[in-house]
Amino acid sequence: MHTELDTIVLNQRCDSPMVSKTLETARLPNIPVLSVSVKDAIKQKLDSISQLKWESDQENAFVVGDIGEVYRQFLRWKALLPRIEPFFAVKSNPDPMVVKLLQSLGLGFDCASKAEIQIALETGADPSRIIYANPCKQASYIRYAAQQNVAKMTFDNADELYKIKKFYPNAELVLRILTDDSKSLCQLGIKFGAPLDTVDHLLQTAKDLDLNVIGVSFHVGSGCYDQYAFSEAVNLARGVFDKAEAMGFNFSLLDVGGGFPSADVTDGVTFEKIAAVLGPTVDALFPPNIRVIAEPGRYFVASAFTVCTNIIARRSKINNEQPSFMYYVNDGMYGSFNCIIFDHQVVQPHVLAKDGHFAYGEELEEKHYECSVWGPTCDSIDCLNKKTTLPLLSEGDWLYWNNMGAYTVCSSSQFNGFKSPEILYTNTYC
């Protein structure tokens, strides 16, 4: 059933005027959005570079963001988890075009800080559609949330309750519980989440302080590869709802957090598999009057961004009489590829242009050589792929890297003077 729905969603085209209008309103003034394939957007950029041959910075790395892909992910969510309202986790990619599109589509936002709340509000989000989902918050940020009427916020410890009592006594509090995150790429449980044996004490403290606790949240970990992690966590949340009810609370919100895989995950635990378990579990355990939200980040953005890097240098070596190569490209571990360290990603280069031949999407049928790919800084940790094979490439050729939209550009630094890459936009939905 899910596969069928999936196909319908993916094959839809924006022939409906409403869809075109939404995508149109999502455009930001002064930022052009192409209406071509990612391949053609990249080609146009490379062609423009060769015309400006002697301009400095011309071969800088660049990124193509496909807002149509973000839109397809929205449709997929609506089709497969219609009851669960997504609050986009801004931290995963606070790109203004992405945030604007999701705001236009009526999504909420999961914000981790004052700056992220500002992004959501400035984009037009209603404060009621924001959750300040950081269980340990700076006091002045809580006060800022109070000034802006951003009432929903998470907590997982008693000290936070005393702080919130001081700065925002009317906040709508969501108790983040600790659930099993052992089947996720990035485990968050060592830092956040109230162990279940502390729940009684926390709820009693909230009661004594006359605070308004409205529900439960959890996060199964980012990059979750076990669909049952979600259903087990929903079961635990149900237990906390029951406990709270017995203590006189009237909970109305369940927040199932983030951790949903992006569109590039087509094998193993896909979004479809998670939805097929999560949706029915929520329906079985929570009556329709309970509002259910989620905080997906990676899900919406990972597959929507492609990074293109220029080979700025090459070092040739002979290993056991076999030639091998070290390629140096102009975005690296301290830039967009920080996801290798912070997000445990394994990234794979593809040939974009070789000797002036545009090769996007092509399997070049020529001899491949063992090689490694390195970022541009002077640090030896700055290695993007230690061992792969590529055709023989030279300085000036290009590589591209798919699925670079989550936890990449947003957490990059300018170490060694390398700026974050320019972002170009296209919309492949039309």
Ligand X SMILES: Cc1ncc(COP(=O)(O)O)c(C=O)c1O
- Catalytic machinery residues: 378
DSSP state of 268: S
Distant-in-sequence, close-in-space partners of 246: CB < 8 Å, separation ≥ 6 = none
Angstrom distance (rounded) from CA 275 to CA 271: 6
Least distance from ligand X to the Cβ atom of residue 350, Å: 24
Least distance from ligand X to the Cβ atom of residue 222, Å: 3
Residue closer to ligand X by CB (options 199, 274) is: 274
Least distance from ligand X to the Cβ atom of residue 347, Å: 17
Angstrom distance (rounded) from CA 202 to CA 112: 22
Q: Which H or E run includes 17?
A: helix 17-25
Residue closer to ligand X by CB (options 76, 219) is: 219
Angstrom distance (rounded) from CA 96 to CA 88: 13
Which positions touch ligand X (CB under 6 A)?
89, 92, 110, 133, 188, 219, 222, 257-260, 295-299, 406
Angstrom distance (rounded) from CA 158 to CA 206: 8
Least distance from ligand X to the Cβ atom of residue 343, Å: 9
Residue closer to ligand X by CB (options 26, 406) is: 406
Angstrom distance (rounded) from CA 156 to CA 22: 37
Residue closer to ligand X by CB (options 65, 296) is: 296
Is 212 strand, coil or helix? strand
Residue closer to ligand X by CB (options 46, 293) is: 293
Residue of minimal CB distance from ligand X?
258
Q: Environment class of residue 88 by beta-carbon count within 10 Å: exposed (0-12), middle (13-18) or buried (19+)?
A: buried
Q: Which H or E run includes 271?
A: helix 271-285
Angstrom distance (rounded) from CA 46 to CA 25: 28
Can you read off the two tokens belonging to residue 365?
Answer: 């049928």
